[in-house]
Amino acid sequence: MHPSLKAKIHPTVAALKAQTDVWKNAGERVVFTNGCFDIIHPGHVDYLFHARDLGSRLVIGVNTDDSVRRLKGQHRPIQHEEARLQVLAALACVDALLLFGEETPIHLITEIMPDVLVKGGDYTIKTIVGAQEVMANGGRVEVIPFLEGYSTSAIERKIKERG
């Protein structure tokens, strides 16, 4: 993996927190989102660029392969975690990444305490993990609508139909 991509991937929550603290101390607004990001498609790209527009830095918690299997089933992920990290790191809107294997990213969220917490259109503020904690700390929670017609599941179905 290219060194500039690898530099965006943090090995631990502590390392990521140290970086986000530097950004915050410099007056930058940290935006956080999370997900599997299995097959990157235009919907992901649109979502991530909109998320970055809400602040100065975009941090993504990426589900490990094991946690993707628990969430999506044994047929997923299609791409392994290192591949997913590399593709996300290549996006200009992404500033930092961290794998997480827990059921939810609540520990990661409460450690870095982003200024803005973002999820996609299938969520409401009431269903977003960490929303209450971020808002109690003076942060914002945003729901970004999906770009119609794109989903990893739809891509997977299309591949199976043609296979």
- The pTM assigned to this predicted structure is 0.93
Cα distance between residue 124 and residue 136, in whole Å: 17
Nearest Cα to 142, choosing from 71, 66, 72, 52?
A: 52
Cα distance between residue 47 and residue 122, in whole Å: 12
Q: What is the pLDDT along the chain (163 residues), one digit of tens a residue?
A: 899 999 999 999 999 999 999 999 999 999 999 999 998 999 999 999 999 999 999 999 999 999 999 999 898 899 999 999 999 999 999 999 999 999 999 999 999 999 999 999 889 999 999 999 999 999 999 999 987 777 777 777 777 788 6
8 Å CB contact between 50 and 27: no
Domains of the chain: 1-107 (3.40.50.620)
DSSP 3-state of 21 = helix
Strands 57-63, 30-35: parallel, antiparallel or unpaired by DSSP?
parallel
